[in-house]
A and B are shown apart, each in its own frame.
Chain A
Amino acid sequence: MNWITNYVRPRINSLFTRREVPENLWTKCDECGTMLFHRELRENLNVCTSCDHHMQISPRLRFEALFDNGAYAEIDVPAPVQDPLHFRDQKPYPQRLRTAQKATGEKEAMLVAEGEIGRTPVVAAAQDFSFMAGSMGMYVGNAIIAAAERAVASRRPLILFSAAGGARMQEGILSLMQMPRTTVAIEMLREARLPYIVVLTHPTTGGVTASYAMLGDIQIAEPGALICFAGPRVIEQTIREKLPEGFQRAEYLLEHGMLDRVTDRRRMRDELIVILRILQHMPPAVKGELPPPAEGPEAAPQPDAAAKKVAAQESGA
Chain B
Amino acid sequence: MAARKEFLPMTHYLDFEKPLAEIEGKAEELRALARQNEGMDVEKEARGLDKKAHDILRDLYKNLDPWRKAQVARHPGRPHCRDYIAELFTEWTPLAGDRAFAEDDAVMGGLARLDGRPVVVIGHEKGHDTATRIARNFGMARPEGYRKAVRLMSLASRFRLPVVTLVDTPGAYPGKGAEERGQSEAIARATQKCLQIGVPLVSVVIGEGGSGGAVAFATADRVAMLEHSIYSVISPEGCASILWKDAERTRDAAQALRLTAQDLLKLKVIDRIIDEPLGGAHRDPRAAMRAVGSAVGDALAELEAEKPGALVRKRREKFLRMGETALPA
Contact = CB atoms under 8 A, between A and B. Distances in A.
A176 B196 contact: no
Contacts of A169: 233-234, 239, 242-243, 257
B226 interface: no
Nearest to B181: A256
B179 A174 contact: no
A85 interface: yes
B258 A235 contact: no
A80 B182 CA distance: 31
A62 B211 CA distance: 31
B195 A229 contact: no
Nearest to A80: B323
Given A85-B327, A90-B244, A169-B239, A210 B192 contact: no
Interface string A250-261: 000000111000
B187 A229 contact: yes
Nearest to A81: B326
A266 B257 CA distance: 41
A181 B322 contact: yes
> Which of under 10, 10 to 19, 20 to 34, or 35 or more describes the interface residues of B?
35 or more
Interface stretch (B71-79, B169-177, B273-281): B169-177
A187 to B, nearest CB: 6
Contacts of A186: 192
B269 A184 contact: no
B188 interface: yes
B150 to A, nearest CB: 13
B212 A210 contact: yes
A230 B259 contact: no
Nearest to B322: A177
A177 B209 CA distance: 12
B191 to A, nearest CB: 5
A218 to B, nearest CB: 14
Contacts of A176: 211-212, 215, 232-233
Nearest to A255: B180
Given A215-B188, A247-B176, A180 B233 contact: no
A224 interface: no
Given A173-B259, A234-B174, A214 B267 contact: no
16 contacts: A83-B326, A90-B244, A171-B233, A172-B257, A172-B259, A173-B264, A174-B269, A179-B188, A183-B191, A209-B185, A210-B183, A210-B188, A213-B184, A229-B172, A230-B172, A256-B181
Given A207-B211, A229-B212, A239-B175, 5 more contacts: A90-B244, A172-B258, A174-B323, A177-B319, A256-B180
Please provide the 8 A-B residue pairs with the shortest distance between their CB atoms, ordered closest to farther: A230-B174, A209-B184, A84-B326, A229-B184, A89-B243, A176-B233, A210-B187, A210-B212
